[in-house]
Amino acid sequence: MKKISVIALASIGFLLASCGDKKTSTTAEAGQEQQVAEKKGDAFAVDTATSVVNWKAFHKGGFAPRWGTLSIQSGELSLADGQLTSGEFIIDMNSIKVDPASVTEKDKNYADLEGHLKSEDFFDVAKNPTSDFKITQVSDLAAAPADAIAGANKTVSGNLTLKGKTLNVSFPAKVTVTDNTAAVEAKFTVNRADWGIQFGTSEADPAEWMISKDIEIGIDVKASKK
């Protein structure tokens, strides 16, 4: 009986994996940490009350998606001649929220999932209370990919630190600038395993391969001139 259960579990896992993960955003390949862009021009303070980081994760095959938000603790953008030149913001990992609407199973509770995400199994916020993103380069985007955020006009590269590990990622973004305000919006997908965020004990552990490695990250940063 136990043998049959294991085989059944493996078959289900294979089926879900073969369906593909239901990500809907550009994949940001992770590379080596790069030098942070020099601050140039005017400084714009990030509005922590209206800025937010959205996240979404899945089981294999896109089943049982979970989503929620993270708060931005502080940040600053630099602009010269009406162009974004550099910037950074710090994310409060203790602020991680799970949208109750994403947990529909009767035996599941969104508050339990919030606690699990904060644990050593995932982000270990006791040891890593913050994450951060620091821009390394901003360039014009000639043609946005189909899965980029609407209105994307720039390619933003930056060092993303999660769980104490820093890697460089690039993604299409919509950058909007006026005389006194600036905004950066983006949606991209990262592979959590690149940052050592691993639930199972190994790749062969069902706890690991039943959960997609894709995490969709949505950035909505608003800033005002200092």
221: three-class secondary structure by DSSP: strand
pTM for this entry: 0.85
Beta-carbon-side half-sphere exposure of residue 216 (alpha carbons within 13 Å): 22
Residue 149 near residue 187, CB atoms below 8 Å: yes
Asked if pLDDT for residue 136 goes beyond 90, the answer is yes
Q: What is the 3-state secondary structure (H, E, C) of 91-159?
A: EEEEEEEECHHHCCCCCCCHHHHHHHHHCCCCCCCCCCCEEEEEEEEEEECCCCCCCCCCCCCEEEEEE
The reported pLDDT for the residue numbered 206 is 61
Tokens of 38: 């020099």
Phi/psi of residue 17, nearest 5 degrees: -65, -35
Over residues 62-118, the pLDDT tens digits come to: 677 899 999 999 999 999 999 999 999 999 999 999 999 999 888 889 999 899 899
